[in-house]
Amino acid sequence: MSLLIVRNLSIAAGERLLVEEVDLDLAEGEVLGLVGESGSGKSITCRALMRLLPHDQLHIAGGSVTLKGRDLARLDEAEMRKVRGVEIGMIFQNPSSHLDPVMRIGDQIAESVRYHEGASTKEARGRAVELLRQVGIPDPVRRVSAYPHEFSGGMRQRAMIAVALACRPKLLIADEPTTALDVTVQAQVLRLLLDLRDRLGLAILLVTHNLGVVAQTCDSLTVMYAGRIMERGPKRDLLRAPAHPYTEALLKCQPGSAKPAAQLPAIPGQPPLAGAFPPGCRFHPRCPRVADICRRERPALSPAQGPRVAACHFTSALRAAS
Amino acid sequence: MSVEALSRGNWLARGFGALGLGRANLNLRLGAAIIVGWALIAVFAPWIAPYDPITHNLADKLQGPSLLHPLGTDNFGRDILSRVIYGARIDLQMGVLGVLFPFLIGTTLGAIAGYAGGWVDILLMRILDVVLAFPFLVLMLAIIAILQPGLTSFYIALALVGWVSYARLVRAQVLVLKTSDFVTAARSLGFGRFRILFRHILPNCIAGSIVFSMSDVVLVVLAGSSISYLGLGVQPPTAEWGVMIAEGQNFITTAWWITTFPGLAIVLMAFGFSLLADGLAERFGLRQP
Amino acid sequence: MHRYAFILTRPLQLIPVLFGISVLCFFLVKSIPGDPVRLLLGTKSTPEAVARIRAQYGLDEPLLTQYIYFLKNLSAGEMGHSLLYKMPVLPLIAERVVPTLMLVVGSVLLTLLIAVPLASLAALKRGTATDHAIRGFTTAGLGFPAFWLGIMLIIVFSVKLGLFPVAGFGESWLSKLHHMVLPCLTVALALSAIVTRNLRASMIAELASDHATAARAKGLPESWVFRRHVLPNSLIPTINLLAINVGWLIGGSVVVETVFSLPGMGQLLVRAIFTRDYMVVQGVTLVFACATVVLNFVADLLTVAADPRVKI
């Protein structure tokens, strides 16, 4: 049974739609990868799930976000606060700027426990030590009183995970959690996330532009481009035989997929600016298989193979080619 | 600020067009309008002022605001409005001259120190540290104490104390510009040191000092009127706003107008220079609006 | 090195500045025209007293020797005699410290009491009429002459409403506090204009910061985010701003003490200038300069205490 069901979610800046018709399904203990280039709308989708869009600029224009049977889009602000941190935890791309520089790490973990559960200072501190231990920070009793600048980048991301898990949420939204980290540390943090998934039964929505990260961690994938879903399905199928030219192009751009010493291929052109999307299929200006119909008609998401869906007029042709 | 007021300010904007300030922003326009207004009042004081600012007229003493005396009269029967109008001459002069001397001294010394470097720079920075360690007004008062109270002493004290801010500002910019490409180019053309400093470097770092000097005028006008209020600057019976406030303080229980209006005049002049400073900063892109 | 190690090393770095201050104060009195003994003793001087002063200050020696005498006297707490009060300068100043200290400390506290709510209101209601009104206050407030503002406050609160004494300094501590309210308010209104302006800007930046977003993602209410995350972070630059304005603050207190007839060091200085009591002028100037240096040091301490990242 799905923990999180997102249907038809769209996000707008004033009149301009930035994200349209996004569907997501996430079951307990599942890791769902949300993949796309920067500007594809994946980060604001995450913010929208938490209802943390900068409200003077962006708003949810339609759709539903159902968590354990409740539509979050309909909750009032006070009810929504009981969801944030308690039912959904969130971690961010840049742990350095997302931790308060002048508050002790322990207090940053403890404050949501104190606010949501009314725990005493001592109880909350105990929970903070326990969480730091869980996310693999050595000597947590001492580190709980440290400030963020005393931590390394990887430790800061671990601390932020501890902050997000303080009230034992069942769902973790991780917005590019490894992008700002060294490659070796990236792998450690991903392993930690998987480990937590196994131990706590956590569902994780992992936002990334890095298919290498996806390959290591996710169960299923959703590929976004220019504010729309291009393809969705189980990770193995998607990575082995992409049904959408955009997914295919992304895969070709990954280091390791090209021959050694050859130049890393890139997708030609630039992704469109938010809100200035081309008509028809949004990927058509950069698509190697572009045809007349792509410029005129927007392809609907349609079943491609097994449980997979893709939004391309030539899905069947692609399959035939592979 | 109404639309009419804005359009009435248009002739000013056109005036700025000639000075290259065509796209003047609101702060700049409003500030300039206030200061130009005060300047006109100062210049035409003898024609505008309804009464003589100095002559006693004891029959009319301590009268509240009325049609005859719109801002009332003081304990010698002098018309407050006339004295405020004449006061603009002194206070505006204090603001402008009081900034001019520190500006010239500080800019020159700062530029030389930054450009020459070495022991000249070290010496200047040490002096600067010491002067800055003193509270501005206290050091000025100490210098005035030695010279003897009066407007001249005020200018001398201000020149001795106020130059440091300009020197520090200009020195920092000269240090940056000294290593820039166009200075290297000028040097490779064989230009002399002073020519490079005063013709090439200084013009490029003067904008910051000019903007600073506008906000400095506010401080100088306040310092000047404060010192006059204390009795150590402009001396009575000269009509100066600080002096007027000091004279009126004995009558606050009965005649509030003697102290109130000169103070409002200071506030309005300071506000004008503040707006001018903000507007110029915005224009030169030196500060967030 | 420990973050607070500068408490030990900083005084050493301050020696050149303190040295410079003493030189300047020395030359201040040296540059007075006329016979220095006359200035120090007044017109009614006995020959013995003249001889004593000449010996004490080494007035017949070269300038450098005289300066060394000056330092020697200074290190013994000897700052000369006041002509007007007929007593040594140092105890005279010591008597006047309390009102000045109360004025400076009270003004800073009152400034924060005014600036923090105003800046918070402006930052939280950014772009509204409230915000514009507060910004108007910050632009105009800078140009309010403290002495005039003080008199206006006296007219309204003392003369018309009778809430506070017109001038002077009370006997009991409670009465002293009562007498301090309007003087502190006078200084604080001007200072809070600058502080509000800067605090508002840093609050707006902090409200939009990543760590505030992260705090909201924890489900904390906006008031909590503001109090626990936005406020502490935006107050740090305010400490520095207050440090920059210490000199201004002391200068302002000199004027305000005169307005309210507070028997503090500032009033002592102004009276001394009128009566040509030069040793008092020198002494007060010296003490004010040293106080500025010390207060800047205190500001550094506060910054280190408030911001764990800072190392000096």
Residues whose CB is less than 8 angstroms from the CB of residue B176 and which lie 6 or more positions away in sequence, other chains included = none
CATH code of B239's domain: 1.10.3720.10
Q: Specify whether the CB–CB gap between A271 and A36 falls below 8 A.
A: no
**Token pair in block for residue A137:** 């920070």
Position B19 pLDDT exceeds 50: no
| Residues from chain B contacting residue C282 (CB–CB below 8 Å) | 142
Q: To probe the interface with C, which of B222, B235, B258 has the most C CB atoms within 10 Å?
A: B222
In a domain, B3, yes or no: no
Supply the range of the domain harboring residue B171.
27-53+66-283
| Residues from chain A contacting residue C217 (CB–CB below 8 Å) | 50, 52, 84-85, 89-90, 92, 164
What residues does each domain of chain C span?
91-306
Using N-to-C axis directions, what is the helix angle for C246-259 and C173-207, rounded to 10°?
A: 140
Nearest CA in chain B to C20: B130
% of chain A surpassing 90 pLDDT? 36
Q: Looking at the DSSP assignment, which residues form a beta bridge with residue A20?
A: none
The predicted-structure confidence for C224-237, as pLDDT tens digits, reads as follows 999 999 999 999 99
Q: Is A50's CB within 8 Å of C211's CB?
A: no
The predicted-structure confidence for C43-74, as pLDDT tens digits, reads as follows 667 788 778 777 777 777 788 888 888 888 88
> How many Å lie between the alpha carbon of A20 and the closest alpha carbon of chain C?
23
Residues whose CB is less than 8 angstroms from the CB of residue A201 and which lie 6 or more positions away in sequence, other chains included = A28, A29, A170
- Look at the alpha carbons of C180, C183, C186, C191 in this order and tell me if their dihedral is positive or negative: negative
Provide the number of structural domains found in chain B. 1
% of chain B surpassing 90 pLDDT? 44
Q: What is the pLDDT of residue B7?
A: 37
Q: Is B226's CB within 8 Å of C272's CB?
A: no
- Single out the residue of A39, A44, A53, A2 nearest to residue A22, CA to CA: A44
Across A164-168, A176-180, B94-98, C254-258, least confident range: A176-180
Written as one string, the DSSP assignment of C218-270 is TT--HHHHIIIIIHHHHHHHHHHHHHHTHHHHHHHHHHHHHHTT--SHHHHHH
Position B24 pLDDT exceeds 70: no
Q: What is the pLDDT of residue A320?
A: 55
Position C38 pLDDT exceeds 80: no
**Confidence category of residue B10, pLDDT binned at 50, 70, 90:** very low
Q: What's the rounded Cα separation, in Å, for the pair C44 and C42?
A: 6
Q: Is B229's CB within 8 Å of C201's CB?
A: no
The predicted-structure confidence for C185-213, as pLDDT tens digits, reads as follows 999 998 999 999 999 999 999 999 999 99
Q: What is the pLDDT of residue A110?
A: 93
The predicted-structure confidence for A281-318, as pLDDT tens digits, reads as follows 888 888 888 888 888 888 888 887 778 888 888 876 55
B-C CB pairs within 8 A amount to 154
Q: What is the pLDDT of residue B9?
A: 38
Architecture in CATH of C91-306: Orthogonal Bundle (1.10)
Backbone angles phi, psi at C64, to 5 degrees: -60, -45
Position B11 pLDDT exceeds 50: no
**Confidence category of residue C1, pLDDT binned at 50, 70, 90:** low
Shortest CB distance from B146 goes to which of C16, C31, C155? Answer: C31
**Confidence category of residue B15, pLDDT binned at 50, 70, 90:** very low
The predicted-structure confidence for B246-279, as pLDDT tens digits, reads as follows 999 989 888 899 999 999 999 999 999 988 888 8
In a domain, B289, yes or no: no
Q: What is the pLDDT of residue B16?
A: 44
Position C110 pLDDT exceeds 70: yes
> How many Å lie between the alpha carbon of A269 and the closest alpha carbon of chain C?
31
Q: What is the pLDDT of residue A162?
A: 92
Q: What's the rounded Cα separation, in Å, for the pair C268 and B135?
A: 16
Q: What is the pLDDT of residue C44?
A: 67
Q: What is the pLDDT of residue B287?
A: 53
| Residues from chain C contacting residue B129 (CB–CB below 8 Å) | 16-17, 20
A98/A15: higher pLDDT: A98
Q: What is the mean pLDDT of chain A?
A: 86
Q: What is the pLDDT of residue A205?
A: 93
**Confidence category of residue B159, pLDDT binned at 50, 70, 90:** very high
**The pTM is what?**
0.85
> How many Å lie between the alpha carbon of C268 and the closest alpha carbon of chain A?
43
- What value does the mean pLDDT take over residues A72-82? 89
Q: What is the mean pLDDT of chain C?
A: 88
Q: What's the rounded Cα separation, in Å, for the pair B143 and A230?
A: 78
Q: To probe the interface with B, which of C107, C151, C278 has the most B CB atoms within 10 Å?
A: C151
Position A254 pLDDT exceeds 80: no
% of chain A surpassing 70 pLDDT? 94
Q: What's the rounded Cα separation, in Å, for the pair B42 and B36?
A: 10
- Single out the residue of A280, A316, A312 nearest to residue A298, CA to CA: A280
The predicted-structure confidence for B217-253, as pLDDT tens digits, reads as follows 999 999 999 999 999 999 988 899 999 999 999 898 8
**Confidence category of residue B17, pLDDT binned at 50, 70, 90:** very low
Q: What is the pLDDT of residue B1?
A: 32
The predicted-structure confidence for A155-210, as pLDDT tens digits, reads as follows 999 999 999 999 999 999 999 888 888 888 888 889 999 999 999 889 999 998 88
